[in-house]
Amino acid sequence: MASTPKQKKPEKVRPAGFPTRDQVMEFITSSDQPAGKREIAKAFGLKGQEKIALKALLKDMADEGLLDIGPARAFHKMGGVPKVTVLRIVDVDGTTLIATPERWEAEGQPAPRLRVIERGKRGALTIGDRILARTEEAGRGWVAHPMKKLAKASEELLGVVEAGEGGKLWLRPVDKRIRKDTPISDAGSATPGDLVLAEPVGRPPRISARVTDILGDPFAPRSFSLIAIHKHGIPHVFPERTEEEALTASELALHEDKREDLRHLPIVAIDPVDARDHDDAVWAAPDEDAANPGGYRAIVAIADVSYYVRPGSALDKEARKRGNSVYFPDLVVPMLPHQLSSDMCSLRAGQDRAAMACHLVIDASGKITSWRFARAIIRVAAVLAYEDAQAAIDGTKDNALLEPALKPLWACWKLLRKARDKRDPLALDLPERRVVLDDQGRIVSVAVRERLDAHMLIEDYMIAANVAAAKALEAKKAPVMYRVHEPPSREKLVALKDYLATFDIDFALGQVIKPSTFNHLIARVGEAEEKPQIMEQILRSQTQAYYSPQNMGHFGLALGSYAHFTSPIRRYADLLVHRALVGAHGLELPAPKGGVLPDRTALSADDYENMGRVGEMISQHERRAMEAERDTIDRYVAAYLAAHVGELVNARITGVQNFGFFATVEGLGGDGLVPVSTMGDERFYFDEAGRALEGVESGDRYTVGQHLQLRLAEADPINGSLRFELPDAPPQRPSFKKDRTRPGAKRGRPANIRHMGSKRGKHRR
C-alpha cells in the first residue's frame, strides 16, 4: 500500500509581525551562515513569546518535511544541503574532487555528491579530507566552496580492541603518533583483540569510540597492509564498471601491422625477484654506423599502457584517482585492474606485447646523441631477477642470453655510467629494507637489499629514456609532466651546516650548491663511523620531488629536463607522458570497434588543461603511498622483533630530544625511543646544538650516531613502535599496558631533565 503524504497543518495564530513560513524558508536557504533558531530569531528581531512561537513553527515545518536539521542544530531545506556544513571528500571525477555531507539523515534520499571548487592554493585537498564548506545549487547539482580544512583528529579511528579493568573496553590506536587510548562506548560485536574501525562520539575531552566495522585479526597475514590501507584512505577496490572496461581493453587487437616489429631482438626484462609486474625491458648492441665509432644503439621498451587506458574512460578516472600503485611486503594495491597490470600490460617472456619503444643512440663518451619513439610489438626473451643477471655477468651462473643480450647491455651501460659520473648526481648509498614472508604470510626475515651493478644498469637505462621523453616532447613544444626535484632550501642548508659542525666538518653556505657539493662532502668523511648518519642528514636536507608541468629541473640527478616515462602500469604521471608522445609524434592507432572505449589514446584537452592540478594530486598520492609502505615495514619489523623482547641488540642513536633519544637496530631498521625517565635517577641536560643528552654527575653522553647495545623493552606490531632501555636499567612496564584507571593521564615531561642550548641548531625529526 502506498504511503499517504503528510498533510500540511493548519496555520496557527502567530504574534503580530511574526515571519511567515515562506519568509523563514527564504532566510534559511539564502543565509551564508548556519541558520539555527538563534540566528533566525535575531534576523527577524524576535523576543520572549515570539521565540517560543518560532520554535513551534520550526517543529511544524520539520514535521511536514519542509526542513531538516543538520550539524550545530542548523536548519536547511529538506532534500537540500545546508548553506554551511561539514563535508568529506570521497572521490575524484577527472580533476574535480567530489564530497558528500558528513552527516546525512534524510530518509529514502541518497546523500548528494557535491563538486568541490578550490580557490587560492590548489592541491591542498585530497580524498578522505574533511572540510567546512559553503554550498550552493548549480544547475542540476550542488557545488561546495571550501572555507576550512578540518583536523583529522575527529575522523574515523583505526585500532585494536583491548580489555581493561572491570571489563571496560578500550581502543588502542594503530598510529604510533597517538599516545593515548580511547574508551569504547559501543563495541557492537567486536571483542578484545579485534582490529576495528570506529567513529568518535562526544566532544573533547570526553571522546569515546563507537565501533563501525570489524576488520579481523591484526596479526593475521596481510593485516599490516590492511591497517595501512585503511589508515591512509588508499582506494583498493575497483568499481565494477572499471573491471568490465579493463576486460574489454585487454581484448583489443594489437594492430601488429601498424606497430614496429621488434620481436626478433633478444629484449630482456630485469626486475626484483618478487616483482608483481614487468613494465620495462631493455636491449643494446654495438652501433654499426661508422659515424658513431665505439657507440651503441639501445632500446628501452615500456608497456604501451596508453593504448589500453584511454582519456576519459572509467579506467582512466580510477587510475587518476589512485595516482600510483602501492607496494606492501604481502600484497600490491595496483593502479590498474589485474587484467592489465599483471597480464596484458605486463611484459611476459615469450608473449607478444604492445610496447612504447624508446630508441637511443649513444656515443663512445656515453652521451645520448639521438632518440626516437615508436609504438612497437615485442616478445621478451626472458624475465630475469637482478641476482640472476648479475650472476651470469660474473660467470657464477650459466645463462643462454649472456652473449646475445647481457654482455651488450653491460657494455653499453658502462658508457652511460661514464656520462653519469661526469654529471656527478647525488650519490647517497642508503640501505633499503626488504621483508621476506613465507607462503602463509609469516615473517621469515627482515634484511637490507643488496645493491648490485644490475640494479644500477637498469636505473641508468630508465633515466636515459626518461630524459629522452622529456626532450622529445620539448622539441615538439608539447606539454610535459616533469619530475621536479628542486635544490635544498637555505633553511635546511643552515640546519645541515650546524649539524656538520658537531663533527668538526666545515660546510660553506656561500658556494653554489650542486649535487657534487654533497658528494665531495661524503668523500671527505670517508669510511668514518659517522658516515651513515651524515648521509641520512644530507638526505633530510633535500626537498621532496613532485610532478608538475613547469620545469624546475631535477637537482638530485643533475638534469635540466626529466620526466617519468618508464612505469605507466604503476604511475599515472608516466601514462600522461606516453599520451603526450602519442600526440606529439603522430603515434595514434585505429579506433577500437564497437565504441565501448574512447577512440583516442593521445593526450586529451582535459589532460592538457588540468596538468597542473593533476600533478598536485598525484604528488599527494605518491606521498600517501610512501607513508603507507613505510608504516607497514615498521609494523613488520616490530612483529619480527617481538620475539626478541628482553634481549640486547646492537643499535645506533638516530635522534636526540629533551625527553630521550631515538635508536635503530643496526642492519634491520625500526626506530625506537629510550625515554630519559628510564635512564636512572641521574639528571641529564639536553645540548641542542650538539644534539646530545649528558649526565650531570657521570658525564655519560648520548649523541646522534653513537653505537651502543640496548635492551629491547617493547615491540608493538600494531603501531610499529619500539622502545629500548639501557642494558643496566630496571625493566619497565610496556606503555600500552598503562593504568586504565587514569584514561586522561598525560605523559608529562620527565622531572630529571634540564633544558639547555640554543634553538638555532635544533634538529627536527
Contact 489, 579 (CB under 8 A): no
Question: Between 7 and 585, whose confidence is greater?
Answer: 585
Residue 442: per-residue pLDDT: 74
Residue 324: per-residue pLDDT: 96
C-alpha to C-alpha distance for 58 and 37, rounded to whole angstroms: 8
Residue 567: per-residue pLDDT: 96
* Per-residue model confidence as pLDDT tens digits over 461-491: 999 999 999 999 999 999 999 999 999 999 9
E-only strand ranges, 20-118: 67-69, 75-77, 84-93, 96-101, 114-116
β-strands 443-448, 84-93: how paired? unpaired
Burial class of residue 160 (count of CB atoms within 10 Å of its CB; 0-12, 13-18, 19+): buried
478 and 365, same structural domain? yes
Residue 546: per-residue pLDDT: 96
DSSP codes of every residue in 600-617: --SPPHHHHHTHHHHHHH
Q: Which are the contacts of 83, defined by CB distance < 8 A and separation ≥ 6?
A: 28, 29, 30, 31, 32, 33, 34, 35, 76, 134, 135, 136
Per-residue CA distances from 534 to 132, 334, 757 (Å): 43, 35, 22
User: Is pLDDT of 719 > 50?
Assistant: yes
DSSP codes of every residue in 249-274: HHT----GGGSEE-TTS--EEEE-TT
Contact 324, 570 (CB under 8 A): yes
Give 662's pLDDT tier (boundaries 50, 70, 90). Answer: very high
C-alpha to C-alpha distance for 599 and 588, rounded to whole angstroms: 10
Per-residue CA distances from 636 to 173, 325, 442, 668 (Å): 17, 20, 10, 11
| 3-class DSSP assignment, residue 446 | strand
524 and 502, same structural domain? yes
**Highest mean pLDDT pick, 485-489, 638-642, 684-688:** 485-489
Give the containing element (helix H, strand E) for 361: strand 352-362
Sign of the alpha-carbon dihedral angle for 67, 73, 74, 80? negative
Question: Between 129 and 522, whose confidence is greater?
Answer: 522
- Of the candidates 760, 756, 758, 736, the one whose C-alpha atom is nearest the C-alpha of residue 747 is 736
pTM for the full model?
0.79
* Per-residue model confidence as pLDDT tens digits over 20-34: 877 887 787 777 666
* Per-residue model confidence as pLDDT tens digits over 325-341: 999 988 899 999 999 99
User: Is pLDDT of 7 > 50?
Assistant: no
Residue 685 belongs to domain spanning: 645-756
Per-residue CA distances from 205 to 200, 201, 210, 230 (Å): 11, 11, 16, 25
**Highest mean pLDDT pick, 161-175, 252-266, 697-711, 716-730:** 252-266
Residue 709: HSE in the Cβ half-sphere, 13 Å Cα cutoff = 7
Q: Which are the contacts of 608, defined by CB distance < 8 A and separation ≥ 6?
A: 479
Which residues pair with residue 447 across a beta bridge? 434
342 and 369, same structural domain? yes
Give 124's pLDDT tier (boundaries 50, 70, 90). Answer: low
Q: Which are the contacts of 85, defined by CB distance < 8 A and separation ≥ 6?
A: 34, 70, 71, 74, 76, 101, 102, 132, 133, 135
Give 155's pLDDT tier (boundaries 50, 70, 90). Answer: low
287 and 395, same structural domain? yes
User: Is pLDDT of 598 > 60?
Assistant: yes
Residue 67: per-residue pLDDT: 67
Residue 736 inside a domain? The answer is yes
516 and 462, same structural domain? no
Contact 132, 154 (CB under 8 A): no
Q: How is residue 634 written as a grid cell? A: 615498521
Q: Is residue 101 reached through a cis peptide bond, with omega within 30 degrees of 0 on the bond before it?
A: no
Give 277's pLDDT tier (boundaries 50, 70, 90). Answer: confident
Residue 64: per-residue pLDDT: 54
Domain boundary among 610, 632, 654: 632
Residue 8 inside a domain? The answer is no
Domain boundary among 150, 175, 194: 150
Residues above pLDDT 90, as percent of the chain: 47
Residue 63 inside a domain? The answer is yes
The single-letter DSSP state of residue 531 is H
* Per-residue model confidence as pLDDT tens digits over 194-238: 988 888 887 777 888 899 888 888 888 778 898 899 888 899 999
711 and 604, same structural domain? no
Residue 79: per-residue pLDDT: 56
Write down the residue that cell numbers 637511443 correspond to: 360
457 and 578, same structural domain? yes
CATH code for position 62? 1.10.10.10
Give 745's pLDDT tier (boundaries 50, 70, 90). Answer: very low
Write down the residue that cell numbers 590548489 correspond to: 122
Write down the residue that cell numbers 608504516 correspond to: 631
114 and 57, same structural domain? no
**Highest mean pLDDT pick, 578-587, 610-619, 723-732:** 578-587
Which residues pair with residue 142 across a beta bridge? 114, 137
73 and 97, same structural domain? no
The single-letter DSSP state of residue 310 is -
CATH code for position 733? 2.40.50.140
Total count of domains within the chain: 6
User: Is pLDDT of 166 > 90?
Assistant: no
Q: Which are the contacts of 45, defined by CB distance < 8 A and separation ≥ 6?
A: none
Residue 11 inside a domain? The answer is no
C-alpha to C-alpha distance for 725 and 216, rounded to whole angstroms: 32
Residue 224 inside a domain? The answer is no
DSSP codes of every residue in 176-208: TT--S-EEEEE-TT--TT-EEEEEEES-TTS-E
Residue 40 inside a domain? The answer is yes
Residue 1: per-residue pLDDT: 40
CATH code for position 91? 2.40.50
C-alpha to C-alpha distance for 617 and 97, rounded to whole angstroms: 10
| 3-class DSSP assignment, residue 383 | strand
C-alpha to C-alpha distance for 731 and 338, rounded to whole angstroms: 49
Cβ–Cβ contacts within 10 Å for residue 53, how many? 17
Mean pLDDT of all residues in 669-693: 86
Which residues pair with residue 303 across a beta bridge? 355
Which residues pair with residue 554 across a beta bridge? 485, 559
Mean pLDDT of all residues in 654-664: 90
* Per-residue model confidence as pLDDT tens digits over 397-407: 999 999 999 99
Residue 763: per-residue pLDDT: 28
145 and 53, same structural domain? no
Residue 109: per-residue pLDDT: 63
Domain boundary among 150, 175, 199: 150
Amino acid identity, position 416: L
Per-residue CA distances from 503 to 6, 248, 433, 525 (Å): 80, 61, 28, 10
Residue 313: per-residue pLDDT: 94
Mean pLDDT of all residues in 302-326: 95
**Highest mean pLDDT pick, 60-74, 108-122, 124-138, 723-737:** 124-138
Which residues pair with residue 445 across a beta bridge? 436
Question: Between 762 and 331, whose confidence is greater?
Answer: 331
Sign of the alpha-carbon dihedral angle for 397, 398, 400, 406? positive
Contact 583, 478 (CB under 8 A): yes
Residues above pLDDT 70, as percent of the chain: 88
Give 9's pLDDT tier (boundaries 50, 70, 90). Answer: very low
Question: Between 87 and 299, whose confidence is greater?
Answer: 299
**Highest mean pLDDT pick, 21-35, 74-88, 297-311, 501-515:** 297-311
- Of the candidates 728, 624, 727, the one whose C-alpha atom is nearest the C-alpha of residue 321 is 624
109 and 69, same structural domain? no
389 and 253, same structural domain? yes
User: Is pLDDT of 294 > 70?
Assistant: yes
Mean pLDDT of all residues in 632-646: 90
Residue 230 inside a domain? The answer is no
- Give the alpha-carbon dihedral of 736, 740, 745, 748, to 10 degrees: -40
Whole-number average pLDDT of the chain: 85
Mean pLDDT of all residues in 445-460: 89
Mean pLDDT of all residues in 489-503: 89
Residue 638 inside a domain? The answer is no
DSSP codes of every residue in 3-43: PPPPPPPPPPP--TTPPPHHHHHHHHHH-SS---HHHHHHH
Residue 754: per-residue pLDDT: 29
Which residues pair with residue 269 across a beta bridge? 383
Residue 671: per-residue pLDDT: 86
- Of the candidates 624, 629, 612, 622, the one whose C-alpha atom is nearest the C-alpha of residue 570 is 622
C-alpha to C-alpha distance for 475 and 368, rounded to whole angstroms: 15
